[in-house]
């Protein structure tokens, strides 16, 4: 229920005009993405983990880079969104380098 209320803010943005055009939406896209990334991090990337878990991965069968990064993620108790920003949507313009993992 809480997520539905949070999502309704997007409707409010359309109604009030703050994201009513593609240009206005693009101008706020980084801010909106940062809110979503924080929400996903707080929830331990629950949406991803419904299907993808470290326990369910055969890390040794992954490509070298993926295997290495997943081992680091497990050791550092990272959540999916820490490294996989832009996996479902294009990354917004203006991201800092450290966010571009």
56 shares a domain with 37:
no
Residues 7 and 30 in one domain: yes
CA-closest candidate to residue 73, choices 63, 61, 87, 59:
59
**Lowest mean pLDDT segment, chosen from 4-8, 21-25, 64-68, 89-93:** 4-8
The pTM assigned to this predicted structure is 0.76
Q: Are residues 38 and 68 in the same domain?
A: no
User: For the chain, first and last CA: distance in Å?
Assistant: 31
Range of the domain at 22: 1-42
- CB within 8 A of 52, min separation 6: which ones? 80
3-state secondary structure of 66: helix
Same domain, 38 and 56: no
CA gap 79, 4 in Å, rounded:
23
Residues 1 and 36 in one domain: yes
Within a domain: 100: no
In this structure, the answer to whether residues 3 and 38 fall within a common structural domain is: yes
Q: Do residue 2 and residue 35 come from a single domain?
A: yes
Identify the sign of the CA torsion 99, 10, 4, 2.
positive
Q: What is the pLDDT of residues 35-77, one digit of tens each?
A: 999 999 999 999 999 999 999 999 999 999 999 999 999 999 9
In total, how many domains does the chain have? 2
Query: Residue 63: inside a domain, yes or no?
Result: yes
């Amino acid at each position: 229920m809480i997520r539905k209320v949070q999502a309704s803010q997007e409707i409010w943005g359309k109604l009030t005009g703050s994201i009513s055009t593609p240009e206005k939406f693009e101008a706020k896209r980084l801010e909106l993405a940062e809110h979503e990334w924080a929400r996903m991090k707080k929830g331990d990337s629950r949406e991803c983990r419904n299907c993808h878990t470290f326990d369910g991965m055969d890390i040794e069968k992954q490509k070298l880079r993926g295997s290495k990064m997943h081992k680091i993620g497990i050791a550092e108790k990272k959540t999916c969104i820490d490294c996989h920003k832009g996996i479902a949507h294009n990354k917004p313009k203006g991201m800092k380098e450290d966010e571009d993992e």
